[in-house]
Amino acid sequence: MNLDEPDYIDLDEPTGEHIVCESCGEDAVIVKRDCGIGAYEYWGARGVHVDMRNCCSECGDEV
Ligand SMILES: [Zn+2]
Protein backbone atom coordinates (compact mmCIF):
# COMPACT_ATOMS: atom_id res chain seq x y z
CA MET A 1 0.00 0.00 0.00
CA ASN A 2 1.51 3.27 -1.13
CA LEU A 3 0.36 6.22 0.98
CA ASP A 4 2.37 8.70 -1.08
CA GLU A 5 -0.11 8.51 -3.98
CA PRO A 6 -3.40 10.27 -3.21
CA ASP A 7 -6.55 9.10 -4.95
CA TYR A 8 -7.22 12.62 -6.10
CA ILE A 9 -5.72 16.08 -5.66
CA ASP A 10 -7.75 18.62 -3.74
CA LEU A 11 -5.00 21.10 -2.98
CA ASP A 12 -3.86 23.92 -5.20
CA GLU A 13 -0.67 22.96 -6.95
CA PRO A 14 1.59 25.94 -7.74
CA THR A 15 3.07 25.89 -11.24
CA GLY A 16 5.61 28.63 -10.47
CA GLU A 17 4.32 30.61 -13.44
CA HIS A 18 3.77 34.29 -12.64
CA ILE A 19 0.96 36.33 -14.15
CA VAL A 20 -0.83 39.59 -13.57
CA CYS A 21 -4.37 38.41 -12.97
CA GLU A 22 -7.06 40.06 -15.10
CA SER A 23 -9.66 39.59 -12.36
CA CYS A 24 -7.90 41.01 -9.30
CA GLY A 25 -4.94 42.81 -10.89
CA GLU A 26 -2.51 41.17 -8.49
CA ASP A 27 0.87 39.71 -9.34
CA ALA A 28 -0.10 36.10 -8.83
CA VAL A 29 1.15 32.59 -9.42
CA ILE A 30 -0.84 30.18 -11.57
CA VAL A 31 -2.02 27.24 -9.51
CA LYS A 32 -3.54 24.02 -10.74
CA ARG A 33 -6.90 23.57 -9.07
CA ASP A 34 -9.14 20.55 -9.28
CA CYS A 35 -12.60 21.77 -10.30
CA GLY A 36 -13.89 18.25 -10.76
CA ILE A 37 -16.61 16.67 -8.67
CA GLY A 38 -14.30 14.07 -7.13
CA ALA A 39 -15.48 10.55 -6.44
CA TYR A 40 -18.80 9.60 -8.02
CA GLU A 41 -20.93 6.60 -8.74
CA TYR A 42 -23.19 6.45 -11.77
CA TRP A 43 -25.36 3.40 -12.32
CA GLY A 44 -22.93 1.31 -10.34
CA ALA A 45 -19.89 2.57 -12.23
CA ARG A 46 -17.44 4.26 -9.90
CA GLY A 47 -14.87 6.82 -10.88
CA VAL A 48 -13.17 10.02 -9.86
CA HIS A 49 -13.86 13.14 -11.87
CA VAL A 50 -10.80 15.37 -12.04
CA ASP A 51 -10.85 18.66 -13.90
CA MET A 52 -7.60 20.55 -13.47
CA ARG A 53 -7.77 24.25 -14.29
CA ASN A 54 -5.24 27.05 -14.19
CA CYS A 55 -6.31 29.47 -11.48
CA CYS A 56 -5.05 32.66 -9.87
CA SER A 57 -3.36 32.10 -6.51
CA GLU A 58 -4.76 35.39 -5.18
CA CYS A 59 -8.48 35.35 -6.06
CA GLY A 60 -8.94 31.79 -7.34
CA ASP A 61 -10.46 32.86 -10.66
CA GLU A 62 -9.67 30.78 -13.71
CA VAL A 63 -6.95 32.37 -15.82
ZN1 LIG B 1 -6.73 36.99 -9.33
Domains: count for the chain: 1
Q: Which whole number is the average pLDDT over 46-51?
A: 94
What's the CA-to-centroid distance between 37 and ligand 1, angstroms? 23
Q: Which whole number is the average pLDDT over 46-56?
A: 94
What's the CA-to-centroid distance between 11 and ligand 1, angstroms? 17
What's the CA-to-centroid distance between 61 and ligand 1, angstroms? 6
Q: Which domain holds residue 6?
A: 1-63
Q: Residue 7: its pLDDT value, please?
A: 60
Question: Exposure pattern of 5-29 as b/e (b: 16+ CB <10 Å)?
Answer: eeeeeeeeeeeeeebebeeeeeebb
Output DSSP code: residue 60.
-
Residue % of the chain over a pLDDT of 70: 84
- CA 35, CA 4: separation in Å to the nearest integer? 22
- pLDDT band for 13, please (50, 70, 90 cuts): confident
What's the CA-to-centroid distance between 29 and ligand 1, angstroms? 9
* pTM of the predicted model as reported, rounded to 2 decimal places: 0.67
What's the CA-to-centroid distance between 50 and ligand 1, angstroms? 22
